[in-house]
Amino acid sequence: MIRYNLGMAGRIPSAFIDELINRVDIVEVIDSRVPLKKAGREYEACCPFHNEKTPSFKVNPTKQFYHCFGCKAGGSAITFLMEYDHLDFVEAIEELAKMAGVEVPREEGGSRFSPEQQQAQKQAKTNLYELMGQCDVFYRQQLRQHAQSQVAIDYLKGRGLSGEIAARYNLGYAPPGNTLGPAMPNQTDNLVTTGMLIRKDTGETYDRFRHRIMFPIRDSRGRVIAFGGRIIPEDNQSTDKVAKYLNSPETPLFHKGRELYGLYEVRKALRHIDRLLVVEGYMDVIALAQQGIDYAVASLGTACTVEHIQKLFRLCSDVVFCFDGDRAGHEAAWRALENTLPALQGTQQIRFLFLPDGEDPDSMIRKIGKQAFEEKIDQAQSLSEYFFSHLREGIGRHDLEAHRTLIERAKPYLQGMADAAYRSLLVRELASYTKKDEREVFGLLGVKGPSTGQALGQGRPGNYSAQGTTANRPSDKAMTPSLVRTALRCLIHSPGLAETIEEPKSLSQIDQPGIGLLVDLLENLKLNPTLNTAALLERWRDRDEGKHLAKLATWQSPLNDLESLQQEFLGAIERLQAKHLSARTDTLLAKSNQGTLSTDEKSELQSLLSRNNRQDPV
């Protein structure tokens, strides 16, 4: 495993770099320095590394990789900081770590953590989980025992919550003043690390959560990783100047862009999840569960992210977003739609339920009951209906100019869709509304249609097609990559494909250029299955093959779904294996004709011929 030298300070373990690249968002890193604009699946800008008038600088959030098709600059967030901020490698790592709120670990001596160091790191994180569990117990005890907890109990009862539902979600109470720190006097530093205490400049600490109803946030394993605290409204007290909800900050255990409140409880309550309802707050989730709707979750004070969407779709294919019908609700819904479109595949669908003004899920379900509320969920607005109604806002007219505006608004979203079949349906609806031929609309959108053969950027010199080549490219035959190259670029595009190869080492006997690199990549990914494209490339930063892999990472896949990409990858592997077996058979047959086969070679030839006979069509 690669380590990065820090001179006298020690070395940076590659496992930390992998985690750092997974934690930071390259779009945010670059956008804070070079404003980016959404362009289909990617973001774009005029390249900061050379002068240009037309944007050719692309940032891919899935690969966590940037590339300029003009000057060929490209790499991970680390590379960008090195080039843009003129930092060396270690300084770039430290800058990213600062943005992520983590410390850069130093590894002294050898190239690997000692077993003692590994155990110490594991134990340190275990201690934080245990501490958060103790905080959870403390707050629940305070809800039952503290002299001032009755106001919290009265509030919860006033919202119609039972003791059973409060126990299911581990609701608690944070008393006024500083009570958590004194209750755990030997844990001050760890309480600061987990965000439960805040340290002043003077070194003193105080409780983050005071006089609030506490909602523990649990990960997929049920471990408490953070808290949300709701202020308690009381008579004759104004709460206008105090945040209604207060959430834990980002910590080593908690990353709000990845977690969904209530998801653990949904998985615990339901053996089979038919659909998930995404609402805005903690109380919405709990109030719905109180009424028998056990499939609601909430994002944690942030817009629904791509990681949220992917996590939801791993559990079911039907996701309904439920928001207030005001402007803020529609903005949240649109951000969810933007993050969902590139992720949609197959039968996956999202829908939108907007509540009347002044209503939230709690008030609505208590007013109309569970059955009527679920009927509203069943009748939720489809993605296509909401998509086009939102895009038509402010246009008003139904003339040529209005139709052109609508198509331009739809363009980046339809370009970025992974599901070609669903995109075709949306284009058909767009063509119907604008009274244009479907083929014409596909051409105006710059995306490949089912029968037009047009591709993004095709026909405009200097622009790049979906295949990542210029319009003035050689014939397809001349551009056909080798089987090894095909497998490599599929793997770089989607590192998760390594899971489909059981024994990568078995491929090393294939006599083809680049097969060693392919085997190395597969073995790295088998050992480190969470590596994304950027993290994988970082492992080859100082190797000769690194530039070759970085070039492959700029490939724009014409395949619009993971299943098709997997088929291409496995097809290349199978053809490589078949070519190897065919060549080996020919070699052994030639030796057999010369009468020079060994006993083992005779057995091998017999096995190969038997295999070929089984594969021959009858």
Q: Which CATH number belongs to the domain containing residue 72 in this structure? A: 3.90.580.10
* pLDDT score recorded for residue 2: 41
- The values of phi and psi at residue 52, to 5°, are -160, 155
How far is the C-alpha of 40 from the C-alpha of 471, rounded, in Å?
19
**Per-residue pLDDT at 477:** 39
461 with 516, same domain: the answer is: no
Would you say residue 552 lies in a domain?
yes
Domain identity same for 524 and 468: no
Distance of CA 123 to the CA centre of its chain: 28
Q: 601, 537, 449, 398: which is closest to 80 by C-alpha?
A: 537
Hey, how many other C-beta atoms are within 10 angstroms of the C-beta on 324?
20
Which run of H or E residues covers position 38?
Answer: strand 37-39
Q: How many domains does the chain have?
A: 5
Which residue type, as a one-letter code, is found at position 596? Answer: T
Same domain, 276 and 369: yes
CA distance 42 to 58: 6
Strand partners, 74: 67
Q: Which residues, including other chains, have CB under 8 Å from residue 600's CB and lie 6 or more apart?
A: none
Residue 425 lies in a domain: yes
Pairing of strands 318-324, 349-355: parallel
Q: What residue has token string 């059955």?
A: 371
Which CATH number is 298's domain given?
Answer: 3.40.1360.10
What CA dihedral angle connects 430, 432, 438 and 440, to 10 degrees?
Answer: -80
In this prediction, residue 9 carries a pLDDT of: 44
Q: Which of 45, 66, 64, 48 is nearest to 56 (CA)?
A: 45
Instruction: Give which of 96, 26, 37, 98 is closest to 66, Cα–Cα.
Output: 26
Q: Is residue 252 part of a domain?
A: no
Say if residue 430 is in the same domain as residue 460: yes
Tell me, yes or no, whether 618 lies in a domain.
no
How far apart, in whole angstroms, are the C-alpha atoms of residue 75 and residue 454? 29
From 381, 403, 430, the end of a domain falls on 381
- Which of 448, 473, 498 finishes a domain? 473
Q: What distance in Å separates the CA atoms of residue 297 and residue 311, rounded to the nearest whole number?
A: 12
The Cα–Cα gap between 501 and 483 comes to: 16
Provide the token pair at 433: 């509304």
Q: Are residues 87 and 138 in the same domain?
A: no
Whether 286 and 223 share a structural domain: no
Domain match, 446 and 372 both: no
Report residue 419 as tokens. 């599901």
> Is residue 77 within 8 Å of 26, Cβ to Cβ?
yes
Give the chain's radius of gyration (CA, Å): 28
- 444 to each of 37, 41, 387, 413, 459, how far by Cα in Å? 20, 18, 18, 13, 12
Comparing CA positions, the residue from 352, 405, 359 lying closest to residue 381 is: 352
Same domain for 298 and 375, yes or no, is yes
Q: Kindly state the helix (H) or strand (E) to which residue 216 belongs, with its residue range.
A: strand 212-218
Calpha distance 436→438 (Å, rounded): 6
Cα separation, 206 vs 106, whole angstroms: 30
CATH code of the domain in which 158 resides: 3.90.980.10
Low-confidence ranges of the chain (pLDDT < 50): 1-9, 110-111, 451-479, 614, 616-618
Q: Is 181 left (phi over 0), alpha (psi -120 to 50) or beta?
A: alpha
Q: What pLDDT score was predicted for residue 237?
A: 56
Domain assignment present for 602: no
How many whole angstroms separate alpha carbon 582 and alpha carbon 42?
A: 42
Q: Which residue has the tokens 């117990």?
A: 137
> Hunting for tokens 């049920």 — which residue is that?
222
The separation between the first and the last C-alpha atoms of the chain, rounded to the nearest angstrom, is 49
Query: Which residues make Cβ contacts (< 8 Å) with residue 445, sequence separation at least 6?
Result: 407, 410, 411, 414, 415, 427
Examine residue 253 and state whether it is found in any structural domain, yes or no: no
Residues contacting 618, CB < 8 A, separation 6+ = none
Q: What are the phi and psi torsion angles at 67 (to 5°)?
A: -160, 140
Same domain? For 225 and 329 the reply is no
Question: Beta partners for 37?
Answer: 44
Task: Name beta bridge partners: 60.
Answer: 65
Helix (H) or strand (E) holding 29: helix 26-31
What are the angstrom distances between the C-alpha of 436 and each of 192, 411, 428? 61, 15, 9
CA angle centred on 567, ends 561 and 573, rounded to 5°? 140
Same domain, 426 and 445: yes
Domain with residue 534: its CATH number is 1.10.860.10
Q: Reduced to 3 states, what is the DSSP secondary structure of residue 205?
A: strand
- Report the C-alpha gap between 188 and 554 in whole angstroms: 47
Q: Which of 427, 446, 473 is the last residue of a domain?
A: 473
Angle made by CA atoms 211, 212, 216, in degrees to the nearest 5:
135
DSSP assignment string, 80-118: HHHHHS---HHHHHHHHHHHHT-PPP-B-SSSS--HHHH
> Per the domain annotation, does 111 fall within a domain?
no
In a domain, 599, yes or no: no
β-sheet bridge partners, residue 230: 213, 245
> How far is the C-alpha of 352 from the C-alpha of 323, rounded, in Å?
8
Rounded to whole angstroms, how far apart are CA atoms 316 and 346? 12
Domain of 33? Answer: 3-100
Whether residue 456 is found in the same domain as residue 498: no
Q: How distant, in Å, are the alpha carbons of 36, 310, 477 from that of 42?
A: 10, 17, 28
| Cα separation, 460 vs 446, whole angstroms | 11
Cα 201 to the center of its chain, rounded Å: 36
Q: Are residues 460 and 519 in the same domain?
A: no
